[in-house]
Chain A
Amino acid sequence: MRRAIFAVLVTAVGLVLLLSFKPHELTAVASPPSAVSHAPAPQHSAGEPPSSGRQDTAVPPANGTWTGPGATAGTTRGDKVATGDIADTRWGPVQVELVLSGGRMTGIRVLRAPDSTHRDLAISSEALPMLNDEALAAQSAQIDAVSGATYTSEGYARSLQSALDRAGL
Chain B
Amino acid sequence: MRHVEHAMGTVFSFDLRPPLGDARRAVTEAVAWLHRVDAVFSTYRAESPVSRLARGEIPLDDCPPQVAEVLELGASVAEVSEGYFSIRPRGLLDPSGLVKGWAIEQASRILARYGAVNHCLNGGGDVQCSGTPAPDRSWRVAVVHPLRPRVLATVVAGHDLAIATSGTAERGPHIMNPRTGRPALELASITLTGAGLTLIDAYATAAFAMGDAARAWVERLPGVEAFAITAAGTTWRTAGFPGSAP
A residues near B (Cβ < 8 Å) are 1, 9, 11, 16, 131, 134, 137-138, 141-153, 155-156, 159-162, 164-165, 168-169
Q: Are B13 and A161 touching (Cβ within 8 A)?
A: yes
Question: Which residues from 65 to 122 on chain B have a C-beta closer than 8 Å to any C-beta of chain A?
Answer: 100, 120, 122
Interface size on B, residues (CB 8 A): 44
As a 0/1 sequence over residues 1 to 18 of chain B, the CB contacts with chain A under 8 angstroms (1 = contact) are: 010101001110101000
Min distance, Cβ B137 to any Cβ of chain A, angstroms: 7
Give complex CA distance A142, B155 in Å.
Answer: 10
Given the complex, which residues of B lie within 8 Å of A164, measured CB to CB?
13
Q: Are B10 and A145 touching (Cβ within 8 A)?
A: no
Given the complex, which residues of A lie within 8 Å of B155, measured CB to CB?
141, 143
Known: A145-B127, A145-B141, A147-B144. A153 touches B9 (CB 8 A): yes
Q: Are A148 and B143 touching (Cβ within 8 A)?
A: yes
Known: A9-B150, A152-B170, A160-B150. A147 touches B10 (CB 8 A): no
Which of the segments B26-34, B40-48, B55-63, B161-169 contacts the partner chain?
B161-169
B residues near A (Cβ < 8 Å) are 2, 4, 6, 9-11, 13, 15, 100, 120, 122, 124-127, 129, 133-134, 137, 139-144, 146, 149-152, 155-156, 163-171, 189, 191, 246
Give complex CA distance A169, B3 in Å.
Answer: 7
Q: Which of A1, A145, A149 contacts B134 (CB 8 A)?
A: A1
Given A11-B149, A144-B129, A146-B144, 15 new contacts (CB under 8 A) = A131-B150, A138-B246, A141-B152, A143-B142, A143-B152, A148-B144, A148-B146, A148-B165, A149-B146, A149-B169, A149-B171, A151-B125, A156-B11, A156-B124, A160-B152
Given the complex, which residues of B lie within 8 Å of A165, measured CB to CB?
2, 4, 13, 15
Q: Are B165 and A147 touching (Cβ within 8 A)?
A: yes
Instruction: Tell me which of A16, A131, A149, A151 has the highest count of chain B C-beta atoms within 10 A of its own C-beta.
Output: A149
Min distance, Cβ B125 to any Cβ of chain A, angstroms: 4
Min distance, Cβ B187 to any Cβ of chain A, angstroms: 11
